[in-house]
Chain A
Amino acid sequence: MSTLLNNLLNALEQIVLEVVDYKTDTVKLVAGEADWAKELLPQLSSDSPFILDDNIAFLYDFLFDAKQVWNASSNGSIRSGFWTEVTAHHNQLHLEAVAIKQENENLLLIINQSNEFKFRQTTLQSAREMLLSNDRLVEQNQYLHNRILTILKKPTKQNDILIALTKAIENAGFAVVITNKKLKTIIENTATKSLFDQQYLPISEVKKPIDIILSLMQNQLPEFDRIMSTKSSWDGELCWILPPSTLKWLKIAVYPVTNEFNEIKNWIFFANDISNVKYLVQRNEQLALHDILYSQNYPIALVFGKRLSRKQQKRLLSIYFTLISTSSEVITNTLAMKKVTNF
């Protein structure tokens, strides 16, 4: 194996093992000689063939799939997926194995995927935190909605209903507003006051939370009138902007409460600040963009770029540059832009 190829494999953090006898799991190093590999497989220090035993349980298990590739009559390959191995020196390695059959050669590639692992972990961490946050919100919404409906539909005195409603909604982690049929607030919880805080406004300009919600729905939701007239429930995201400093993404849910004649008795409004979730989504989108433009030269981006005329590319880049100039990542994105111009 040439030094050049060896250097290349070292740079790619890969080692190549030749499968001497797949029936006995015997392999031999043919290229690559990184320290991490010797830590993983101390047998690499000698040039002799050695047996892959169950000391590395994941790799040993993967050999079962690998043998199907090595035993096949045609060329092929299979990847193990990521696994984490702690070495005898207590170092964590993030690895992936690839079993290859090529022109009657059986090979086993072991790749140190630390960088790809970190990138994937960062992306999925954000995505899963977002899922968690959304799951909790949905569950709390459903639970509280059912409780409020139960209270409102019970034949109880008005005063007792208010006490029961106060108890039910007071500790909710999101804003709850219950109105009468004319959309006038009957009761709202503490979270509503803090979510729609307008302390910097003169008292004469402060709006009631229900008026803010209704105004947002009227302005941002084309089907608002239909929802109200057909007594439908709705949930979705609205953006509340209150200059100079308030910009909140709100997840709003609206539920009608009807009597036995299907007439509106009340409306229930839930509002939750999901600005943080939105931030995580944007962060994920940025990571995806980063991946597409820098490391992968993702085909969709290439095809899109090639389909644009030179003039269209310049116009697109000018819009893109205007957008990214406002962000804190001007320098990195400008580099990305340079890559786009090379289409």
Chain B
Amino acid sequence: MIQKKICLLGASSVGKTSLVKQFVEGIFNEKYLTTIGVKVDKKLVEVNDQSVQLMLWDIEGNDQYNVFQERYLRGAAGYIIVVDHTRSSSLLEGIDIHTLARQVTSAPAILVINKSDLPKQWHWQDYELEQYKDILIINFQQVLKQVSK
């Protein structure tokens, strides 16, 4: 069976653990409990009639208490930068993390804007977001549209 390592990266408190829990166990808990270190979850998915085991590395968020550790990206088939729809600073932090990650891997990366169901406190204009659209594999605007659906 094919195994693929996928890392979840992002600032602290953006909801990386909640995304993994929702995806793997189908459970959502509103209570915020900070992640310490790393937790690896497994999920079997079917891709083109082939079973693929995803190894989801839920990595402690980066902030002044925890710096980005590139070694966790070793062997990753891809990584997901998670940002918080209610905190524009998490986008800047996500972009910084992506820049650091790019120094050690060229694996595909996607941006996920989490908490889009919460009241919008993201006051950035579209033209301000434009400058970041080319740095990720998937077009930023496409992701925005997909998330808003």
Contacts and interface: CB of A to CB of B under 8 A. Distances in A.
A83 B87 CA distance: 27
A124 B87 contact: no
Nearest to A142: B123
B38 A84 contact: yes
A139 B85 CA distance: 12
Contacts of B130: none
Looking at chain A's contact residues, the main secondary structure is helix
Given A61-B74, A64-B74, A124 B38 contact: no
Contact of A128 (B37, B65, B86): B65
Interface in A123-150: 124-125, 127-129, 131-132, 135-136, 138-140, 143
A127 B65 CA distance: 9
B145 interface: no
Nearest to A138: B89
A57 interface: yes
Contacts of A94: 36-37
A83 B65 contact: no
Interface residues of B, number: 29
Contact of A124 (B57, B65, B69): B65
Given A124-B34, A128-B63, A83 B74 contact: no
B121 interface: yes
A36 interface: no
Interface string A65-97: 100000000000000011111000000001010
B40 A139 contact: no
A83 B33 contact: no
A81 B60 CA distance: 11
Interface residues of A, number: 29
Given A58-B40, A135-B87, A139-B121, A125 B33 contact: yes
A83 B60 CA distance: 10
A83 B38 contact: yes
A228 B77 CA distance: 57
Nearest to A64: B74
A82 B38 contact: yes
Contacts of B18: none
Contacts of A129: 32
Most buried by A among B5, B34, B37, B69: B37
Interface in A89-131: 94, 96, 117, 120-121, 124-125, 127-129, 131
A120 B87 contact: no
B37 A83 contact: yes
A121 B71 contact: no
Interface of A: 54, 57-58, 61, 64-65, 81-85, 94, 96, 117, 120-121, 124-125, 127-129, 131-132, 135-136, 138-140, 143
10 contacts: A57-B55, A64-B74, A82-B36, A83-B40, A117-B36, A121-B33, A131-B12, A132-B13, A139-B89, A139-B123
